[in-house]
Amino acid sequence: DFVMTQSPDSLAVSLGERATINCKSSQSVLYSSNDKNYLAWYQHKPGQPPKLLIYWASTRASGVPDRFSGSGSGTDFTLTISSLQAEDVAVYYCLQYYSTPPGAFGQGTKLEIK
């Protein structure tokens, strides 16, 4: 079974500064036949459903500001917010969809303003 481990569990960053969240998979999520990493990132705010930010490890979802970016391959991935805005306060999750069924979420990283 896949285990997704995020770090840190919580993070406090000043407005306008960079925020970096890491996600490590217990197994590679890189599918060799198409060279795609089956990894997504979500933003979750209280009272709202999770919002898709990044899929295929680095493709930004429609409408997502370009300050959000994803990187990494194989087992190690990073979500970067280049310049933190107040509205970015949320819990962030990575998700692997390499396996069937998918659904191994990381434990979440709580992002706050310093």
The site for other proteins (CB under 8 A) is made up of: 38, 40, 42, 44, 48-50, 52, 55, 61, 91, 93, 95, 97, 100-108
In the complex with other proteins, which residue's Cβ is closer, 52 or 74?
Answer: 52
Handedness of CA 95, 75, 59, 44 (dihedral sign): positive
Least distance from other proteins to the Cβ atom of residue 49, Å: 4
In the complex with other proteins, which residue's Cβ is closer, 62 or 86?
Answer: 62
Which tokens go with 57?
């490890």
Least distance from other proteins to the Cβ atom of residue 55, Å: 5
64 in Cβ contact with 73 (< 8 Å): no
The amino acid at residue 58 is: S
- Give the three-state DSSP class for 87: helix
In the complex with other proteins, which residue's Cβ is closer, 55 or 68?
Answer: 55
Least distance from other proteins to the Cβ atom of residue 39, Å: 8
